[in-house]
Amino acid sequence: MANIAVQRIKREFKEVLKSEETSKNQIKVDLVDENFTELRGEIAGPPDTPYEGGRFQLEIKIPETYPFNPPKVRFITKIWHPNISSVTGAICLDILKDQWAAAMTLRTVLLSLQALLAAAEPDDPQDAVVANQYKQNPDMFTQTARLWGHYYGGAPEPGPEYTRKIDKLTAMGFEKNAVIAALSSKSWDVETATEQLLSN
């Protein structure tokens, strides 16, 4: 990696470690390799959102051309959000694409992602199924996002109704992640989710 990128990322890494948000356990960053090309980020689910109480892991890859190009970031923790792929963790956020500026830092990225969890942009979706649910049935979206936050991010359990449906289909022999994805995309209708699982 270019020397400028290494020096810059080392400085930003220290900035995150010393930040007020890190001391409050809101954001976190760890090294994956010793040459600072890959980092592991973590953000806390913001209060008063379906993600509250969850911890969400991020893969952060630093390009050779950093800070002139943005880091490549994706969610490792599965999450139900219009601007994040429920399958790959890819993120639709302008500062990670064409609105990146060299003055932005790792801390900016982590805080922007936390803000995205609190303020989705359903008209610029990464996941059309989630965005559609967000717009058409906000209550179901909130319950689904809470459930994903519980199963994948360690947030508190949202309620027994959804868990019973998951248990019913896993008892039939389907894999739990596939069951959660099918139920989530089929508005928690067991019959249509079962049809989807059988067709895969």
Give me the pLDDT at residue 4, please.
Answer: 82
Give me the pLDDT at residue 181, please.
Answer: 96
Give me the pLDDT at residue 80, please.
Answer: 98
Q: What's the pLDDT tens digit per position in 185-195?
A: 999 999 999 99
* Confidence check: pLDDT of 62 > 90: yes
Q: What's the pLDDT tens digit per position in 89-101?
A: 999 999 999 999 9
Distance CA 142, CA 165 (A): 17
- Catalytic residue selected from 5, 9, 79, 92: 92
Q: What is the pTM of this model?
A: 0.93
Q: For 18, what's the count of Cα atoms within 13 Å in the CB-facing half-sphere?
A: 6
Neighbouring residues of 139: CB distance < 8 A, sequence distance ≥ 6: none
Distance CA 70, CA 105 (A): 9
In whole numbers, what is the pLDDT of the chain averaged over residues?
Answer: 94
Distance CA 197, CA 99 (A): 39
Query: Which residue is listed with tokens 């209708």?
Result: 189
List domains and CATH numbers for the chain. Answer: 3-118 (3.10.110.10), 128-199 (1.10.8.10)
Annotated active-site residue 88? The verdict is no
User: CB–CB of 149/155 below 8 Å?
Assistant: yes
Give me the pLDDT at residue 31, please.
Answer: 93
The mean pLDDT value for 49-77 works out to: 96
